Structure 1
Amino acid sequence: MHLHCVAPKPENNGTELMKPQHSFSQRVMYPITLKFQEIVYKIGQQKTILNGVTGTVCPGEMLAMLGPSGSGKTTLLTALGGRLSGKLSGKITYNSQPFSGSIKRRTGFVSQDDVLYPHLTVIETLVFTALLRLPQSVGREEKVRHVEHVIAELGLNKCRNSMIGGPLFRGISGGEKKRVSIGQEMLINPSLLLLDEPTSGLDSTTALRILNTVKRLASGGRTVITTIHQPSSRLYYMFDKVVLLSEGCPIYYGPASTALEYFSSIGFSISITTNPADLLLDLANGIGPDTKNVIEQGDTTEQEKKLVREALVSAYEKNISTRLKTEVCSLDSSNFSYTKDVSTRNGVKLEQWCTSWMHQFKVLLMRGLRERRHETFNKLRIFQVISVAFLAGLLWWHTPTSHIEDRIAMLFFFAVFWGFYPLYNAVFTFPQERRMLIKERSSGMYRLSSYFLAKTVGDLPLELALPTAFTFILYWMGGLKPDPTTFILSLLLVLYNVLVSQSLGLAFGALLMDVKQATTLASVTTLVFLIAGGYYIQQIPWFIVWLKYLSYSYYSYKLLLGVQYSDNDYYECSRGVYCQVANLPAIQSVGLNNMWIDVSVMAVMLIGYRLVAYLALTHVR
């Protein structure tokens, strides 16, 4: 085994990426030689996930990481992609340099699960990715042309206008989804391409097609590393090099074609023709060829497996490790090493954004609106809100001014319904987007602030249209004050209440990132706010009265009363007798004054809840 890599060419200004006259898979701006030495990764003090893994991958080569589930393949791949949170020791260099923002922008990472928006078509998915990941200096037409090249290169022309699909409706096939995921990374013309289980869940023909595509990309001068669980012999012989892991320890590193020969030389030979990957995985599991029959009969012990693993680790140290370290070191022109917390690498400080904040906001807003245009529950939500408005309008039909208790109840219903309905909808926003957010932020696609604002602004049309229709229906059917100014102020207060409620829902969702937990917390909170909202209990005990001031429903209810009534208003409290509205116990306990203070308190809530949601998203890993 001799290591030799072509020296990387000097970096150009990036214009080569955009030249359309050649196949994009056949050209790389900046070849990367990746070296990793003595990689150790531990969780806490006890569990070692990776234990002294060493290797090198040159431009044009495809390295496969093999091993059983839990052997550390994905962890190693994540570490090589600069995405591993926690303490990593060892040495990883890219052209003899440490990981940096510029390397991050030249690295494509395809995760095992295809994280894609189900309601976007293939071309929409790739165009939006191109608009976000390619430099703003490149025009939109050039970016679209680049997308067309990638679609042609990956054989996606037949399904270009098909929706991706999801659990609720059928879209493109699994193999096509995987190619779309690869295509998203190919758009940046990566020098280093990392793929986690690209053939997982695919039939052998589709898996072969995917790996043929990846092999072709590698032949264009890219450095390609992939984890793979159990490849067929056809797939196995497509790899240039193999790293075999067993419980985090390397037991083989070298050319894929000589693996069987190596294991035969250390006493693990097999007489019959077999898939090399099967033998390698058996060995990684501690199952030697001579003990396989015993194991199949169920008579094996963990001790026997442990002995096989120890023999393999010992043989690796003796026959491969020392020579490999020497050869890797001889290629190194720098002695840079580190033992540091690599989670700091995942931060956006490493990024020099290739697009402006406003460009990111516009593209993300457009993508969000496009994704929501086919939302399944829109019609259901519209029916739900309009039917409740009409039913409530019939129940409160032209309530006379003398029935002031019924009118107050209607105003409280406004405050409660539009205090809770948006909250429950907003709770789902970020937990449903979590995987997409992690994937795209890890790739440095956009700033968190542009995503956050685009997401919240994109939700507003539906969030504000429904309460507006609801208020138009119930306000006039219920016979509230028929004054245009009062109606407009009431509508604005309902919408204000919606925004505050939505903010709390976003905060709950972002803090917990789990729909079940967030909805449970939301239901407890809404119940407390309902009881303390100033309608059901007018004299709350002093030791718990503070709950009332945390409830935005209380402020919304108070403001709606203040718009409808003033201190000088009277109502017919009994036949021919008129009483002052302000003296009614239900209104006296809330009050009709200090409305600007209530508006200000709700403004603090609106900003505060959204700030909490934003800060919670900064910690999503």
Structure 2
Amino acid sequence: MVAQEGEQVPVSRDAGGEEADYHESAREKNFGSIKNFSKENWTVDMETIPMDENGPVRKAQSERPLPINLKFEEVSYSVSLKPQTTWWDYKSWGSKMAHNAPDKVILHNIVGGVKPGEMLAMMGPSGSGKTTLLNILGGRGQGNLSGNILYNDMPYDKGMKRRTGFVTQDDVLYAHLTVKETLVYAALLRLPREFTKQEKIQRAEDVITELGLEKCKNTIIGGPFLRGVSGGEKKRVSIGHEMLIDPSLLLLDEPTSGLDSTIALKIIQTLQDLAKGGRTVITTIHQPSSIIFHMFDKLLLLSDGHILYYGHRSEAMSYFASVGFSPSYATNPADYLLDLANGIQHHIDPAGGEQSFSSHRKANKSEDILKTLREAYVSKQLSQTRASMARSTSITAEERRASREKVKWPSTWWEQFSVLTVRGMKERRHEVFAGLRIIQVFAISLVCGLLWWQSSADNIGDQAGLLFFVSTFWGFFPIFSSIFTFPTERQMLAKERASGMYRLTAYFFARTVGDLPLELVLPTLSITMIYWMSGLKATAGAFFCTLATVLFNVLVSQGMGLLLGAAMMDVKKATTLASVIMMTFQLAGGYFVTNTPAFIGWVKYISFTYYGFKLQLASQYSKDQTYACATGRCRIVDYPTVQQVGLDRMGIAVMAMMIMLFGFRFLAYMALRNMKK
């Protein structure tokens, strides 16, 4: 039954003291521009759309979020303690005992729920399982999970993923983008395709205003060694990133961590207003102030993965008093409950008025307190909580039907590709064109040009050495740059993929295409300097052929770096393996060894250094060309190095490089696809 305008919706309470329904007016309540904008989750109220003789003036702006009634019943979670080993880790060879280690249980039969319009706080000491439970509720658990987690009486699916906002404890943001750029790019990717580009940009501006970020909107985010916005501003940007889509379900991990009390209060007030607008809000919080504590609707208190209390926040202190635990002096309820979760019960020393903890600091005393609290919860609360979960029916048939509807990607593949390409180029241009990197390339190019200054084709050995060095340098340099690509972006990629922001193919192609102009500028300038200073063949055809070969070599090397980084996601291991591979390719490249044994000679056929060197020789010399030798004039094809590499079968060399170019990138994509989120 849906209430008419102005009509009060009856509210009843069950045996557990929970509201069996919520005010329909709370669903309708406006909260600035944050409450009424999303087009992918909700039905449109056409009466609120401005109209003229030609139809709607703008797209609908007064849609309401799909209410999400979240229930979790008997949720248990454990993780395997088996070490993550690989075949090349010799330390794990023969280790049998570690593989028999029992699984570690993180959560024990957790029961609870949150309704639209409510804000649940999960409290407990460090290691109590708060973040683990939050990840599970957000569909991000990777261990052994049992129990039922239902969203409007349905399991988690892709549609729910795009209706869920998740704010991690660590602010995963691009360091070189400004606050405005961060939120605008997120809006272009996450808002439904029915919005125009200008509407999406305006939405980002509205969130900036709502979160009080106007003064720093043109300031970069910053990082560990890059000055940017403050910690509180960064946290608000992370929250704004999720508020853009006006999620039906919003989960936050320690949103007030590291913030001063004033900023923390503003953030919680924002979350409270979002909840009053009909959203379901769940947050972990370690030790809130008394003001913040009283802003929550429900409380879930955890200790070592066990529930000590679940219910209304206002009834928490009276519940613990009923089981024999109450403070003997005025204190912040949150502080007292956190002490109980640590097994500490405070007393006042009547003689001196000082706190005495000596008897309760003992391990056995703490265990007794925690055991008493767990048993009290099971005997007094658990059955009522289960009954209230069974009776919880706060959604209509229409809302349940909307939950089952398939949700489309918020933007088209091309839009995702375009936005990710521009965003990536803006973020990485500072790294690619860093002053030290430019100095390094130009210094090497200048030294090469001077050492081989105006060399002659008669000095075939010198010129062949230069061409081989160029192939080697522009094989090493790109591979060790691209190895860092995916490992450094792993957190961002995992976060955005988990939120359903874009397709992996759009990200991968944007990353590949966006790197082309950035990665090819420096080698182009370098080859231009070296070529004309060193006196190589002075024709346009030879120059452009040499340049194209070097750029081809750069792209293949870059692809191998992407593959190694994506496959291992460990920069140290990937760099070590890349060093071994590149040194092998260099030795088998046809310059150092001319008489390779047959049993190892096949290595050169998988070396792009070999093919790059071969193509560069072909761009400089022809089969009938000669050079000055001891007997007069000798054919260049008879020179040992050239004879070993050859000036024929150029088509096979190009084909081999093409196979490597696309093959390395395809394997890198498959490695990303199998990456754990």
Same fold flag (TM > 0.5): yes
CA contact under 8 A between 2:299 and 2:313: conserved in structure 1?
yes
Cα deviations across residues 360-398 of structure 1 (Å, max 9, x unaligned)? 000111111222344485332222212211110010011
Distance 1:409 1:376 in 2: 28
Tell me which residue corresponds to 1:347.
Answer: none
| Aligned counterpart for 1:179 among listed residues 227, 236, 251 | 236
Matches within 5 A, 1:205-224: 205-224=262-281
Q: Find the residue that maps to 2:599 and give its secondary structure.
A: helix
Tell me which residue corresponds to 1:500.
Answer: 556
Tell me which residue corresponds to 1:51.
Answer: 108
Tell me which residue corresponds to 1:2.
Answer: 17
Q: Does 1:311 align with 2:372?
A: yes
Over 3 Å counting, the alpha-carbon distance change for 1:320 and 1:616 in structure 2 is same
C-alpha deviation, 1:618, in angstroms: 1.1
| Aligned counterpart for 1:592 among listed residues 635, 638, 647 | 647
How many residue pairs get aligned? The number is 603
Distance 2:468 2:185 in 1: 44
Letter in 2 for 1:152: T
Q: Does 1:94 align with 2:151?
A: yes
Letter in 2 for 1:30: L
Distance 1:535 1:15 in 2: 74
Tell me which residue corresponds to 2:634.
Answer: 579
Letter in 2 for 1:598: A
Tell me which residue corresponds to 2:386.
Answer: 325
The runs of 5 or more residues in structure 1 that have no matched partner are 335-349
Q: Find the residue that maps to 2:170 and give its secondary structure.
A: coil
CA contact under 8 A between 1:14 and 1:29: conserved in structure 2?
no
Tell me which residue corresponds to 2:409.
Answer: 353
C-alpha deviation, 1:170, in angstroms: 1.6
CA contact under 8 A between 2:22 and 2:117: conserved in structure 1?
no
CA contact under 8 A between 1:268 and 1:289: conserved in structure 2?
no
Q: Does 1:565 align with 2:581?
A: no
| Aligned counterpart for 2:303 among listed residues 234, 242, 246 | 246
CA contact under 8 A between 2:328 and 2:347: conserved in structure 1?
no
Distance 1:602 1:375 in 2: 27
CA contact under 8 A between 1:28 and 1:191: conserved in structure 2?
no
Letter in 2 for 1:321: L
Distance 2:368 2:21 in 1: 37
C-alpha deviation, 1:552, in angstroms: 0.9
Matches within 5 A, 1:168-567: 168-289=225-346, 296-297=357-358, 300-331=361-392, 352-375=408-431, 377-567=433-623
Distance 2:61 2:264 in 1: 19
| Aligned counterpart for 2:657 among listed residues 602, 616, 620 | 602
CA contact under 8 A between 2:42 and 2:64: conserved in structure 1?
no
Letter in 1 for 2:108: N
Cα deviations across residues 229-288 of structure 1 (Å, max 9, x unaligned)? 111222211111110111111110012222122112112222011121222122222223
Cα deviations across residues 8-62 of structure 1 (Å, max 9, x unaligned)? 889743688x9799xx999742222111111111113521111111112111111
| Aligned counterpart for 2:129 among listed residues 72, 77, 86 | 72
CA contact under 8 A between 2:272 and 2:295: conserved in structure 1?
yes
Distance 1:476 1:26 in 2: 65
C-alpha deviation, 1:515, in angstroms: 2.0
Q: Does 1:115 align with 2:172?
A: yes
Distance 1:536 1:351 in 2: 59
| Larger CA deviation: 298-307 vs 450-459 | 298-307
Q: Find the residue that maps to 2:344 and give its secondary structure.
A: coil
C-alpha deviation, 1:92, in angstroms: 1.4
Distance 1:141 1:562 in 2: 53
Distance 1:25 1:192 in 2: 20
Letter in 1 for 2:669: Y
Distance 1:131 1:528 in 2: 45
Letter in 2 for 1:551: S
Distance 1:299 1:131 in 2: 55
C-alpha deviation, 1:101, in angstroms: 2.2
Distance 1:612 1:442 in 2: 22
Distance 2:614 2:583 in 1: 18
Distance 1:295 1:459 in 2: 63
Distance 1:13 1:190 in 2: 15
Over 3 Å counting, the alpha-carbon distance change for 1:185 and 1:26 in structure 2 is farther
CA contact under 8 A between 1:101 and 1:352: conserved in structure 2?
no
Letter in 2 for 1:442: A
Q: Find the residue that maps to 2:645 and give its secondary structure.
A: coil
The runs of 5 or more residues in structure 2 that have no matched partner are 1-15, 29-40, 51-56, 81-101, 396-405
Letter in 1 for 2:584: V
Over 3 Å counting, the alpha-carbon distance change for 1:252 and 1:27 in structure 2 is farther
CA contact under 8 A between 2:636 and 2:642: conserved in structure 1?
yes
Tell me which residue corresponds to 2:43.
Answer: 13
C-alpha deviation, 1:548, in angstroms: 2.2
Aligned CA RMSD, in angstroms, stands at 2.6
| Larger CA deviation: 516-525 vs 68-77 | 516-525
CA contact under 8 A between 1:464 and 1:495: conserved in structure 2?
yes
Over 3 Å counting, the alpha-carbon distance change for 1:291 and 1:100 in structure 2 is farther
Distance 2:42 2:273 in 1: 23
Tell me which residue corresponds to 2:3.
Answer: none
C-alpha deviation, 1:540, in angstroms: 2.4
Tell me which residue corresponds to 2:7.
Answer: none
C-alpha deviation, 1:302, in angstroms: 3.3
Over 3 Å counting, the alpha-carbon distance change for 1:7 and 1:269 in structure 2 is closer
C-alpha deviation, 1:183, in angstroms: 1.0
CA contact under 8 A between 1:351 and 1:444: conserved in structure 2?
no
Cα deviations across residues 542-571 of structure 1 (Å, max 9, x unaligned)? 332232222211111111112222322211
Letter in 1 for 2:275: A
Over 3 Å counting, the alpha-carbon distance change for 1:355 and 1:27 in structure 2 is closer
Over 3 Å counting, the alpha-carbon distance change for 1:25 and 1:221 in structure 2 is farther
Q: Find the residue that maps to 1:307 and give its secondary structure.
A: helix
Q: Does 1:159 align with 2:216?
A: yes
C-alpha deviation, 1:306, in angstroms: 2.5
Distance 1:14 1:78 in 2: 31
CA contact under 8 A between 2:432 and 2:518: conserved in structure 1?
no
Distance 1:446 1:298 in 2: 56
Distance 1:423 1:151 in 2: 39
Letter in 1 for 2:253: D
